[in-house]
Amino acid sequence: MLQRLYDWVDERVDITPLWRDIADHEVPEHVNPAHHFSAFVYCFGGLTFFITVIQILSGMFLTMYYVPDIENAWKSVYYLQREVAYGQIVRGMHHWGASLVIVMLFLHTLRVFFQGAYKKPRELNWVIGVLLFFVMLGLGFTGYLLPWDNKAYFATQVGLEIAAATPFIGDAIRTLLAGDPSIVGAQTLTRFFAIHVFFLPAALFGLMAFHFILIRKQGISGPL
């Protein structure tokens, strides 16, 4: 059945050459754990991508129930955890995945740095990777407020004060993020939700696509 469906699609859009170009790409021997134990460090990038996919899918599910206003934000999260089937599991995956993806991305960055994989001709990909790191940090920061509980509220206040301490543009950054610069309130929650769900994911998808294209073009870096 699946083969017939594939043949039907392939006959019309000719996807086989594209699929073979992706699937038949050779992987260097030094990244094969069966041959080199140190090859496990090359898994950090793939694991980061895998967790990111889980974050995207679980986040899409959460938005089906989440209400981004100060009257109903916490209530919607409570309802999701207590009343929705498997809601607590999905939210738990998204909650812990937000920390785990930062850890894996940090380990991947360390691997690239200490193995010198940022050197010519991969300087641009290193810059893109650093930008991806900051986007992930932004996703973590903006998502932290969304449950609208006491811990999220006061932690966001601290984060906004840190942003406001940026020389020259600090006040502008705080106003952009918080809406009302004097208080963390309804405008802040709405803006954080929009940044978390629309703006940062758009940047994430674009940077990831560019990152993978360059990896495909330049290949995996050599061993230490």
Q: The CATH number of the domain where 148 resides is what?
A: 1.20.810.10
User: Considering the domain boundaries, does residue 10 fall inside one?
Assistant: no
> What pLDDT score was predicted for residue 33?
66
User: Considering the domain boundaries, does residue 25 fall inside one?
Assistant: no
How many domains does the chain fold into?
1
Could you list the pLDDT tens digit for every one of the 224 residues in the chain?
Answer: 888 998 898 888 888 887 777 777 777 777 766 666 567 888 899 999 999 999 999 999 999 999 999 999 999 999 999 999 999 999 999 999 999 999 999 999 999 999 899 998 999 999 999 999 999 999 999 999 999 999 999 999 999 999 999 999 999 999 999 988 778 999 999 999 999 999 999 999 999 999 999 988 888 877 66
Q: Which one, of 170, 182, 99, lies nearest residue 140 by Cα?
A: 99
Range of the domain at 90: 33-218
Phi/psi class of residue 89: alpha, beta or left (left: φ > 0; alpha: ψ in -120 to 50)?
A: alpha
Scan for tokens 């129930």, then name that residue: 65
User: Considering the domain boundaries, does residue 57 fall inside one?
Assistant: yes
Q: How big is the chain, counted in residues?
A: 224
| pTM, to two decimals | 0.90
User: Considering the domain boundaries, does residue 133 fall inside one?
Assistant: yes
User: Considering the domain boundaries, does residue 127 fall inside one?
Assistant: yes
Residue 64 DSSP SS3: coil
Whole-number Å distance between alpha carbons of 135 and 201: 8
Whole-number Å distance between alpha carbons of 138 and 55: 14
User: Considering the domain boundaries, does residue 26 fall inside one?
Assistant: no
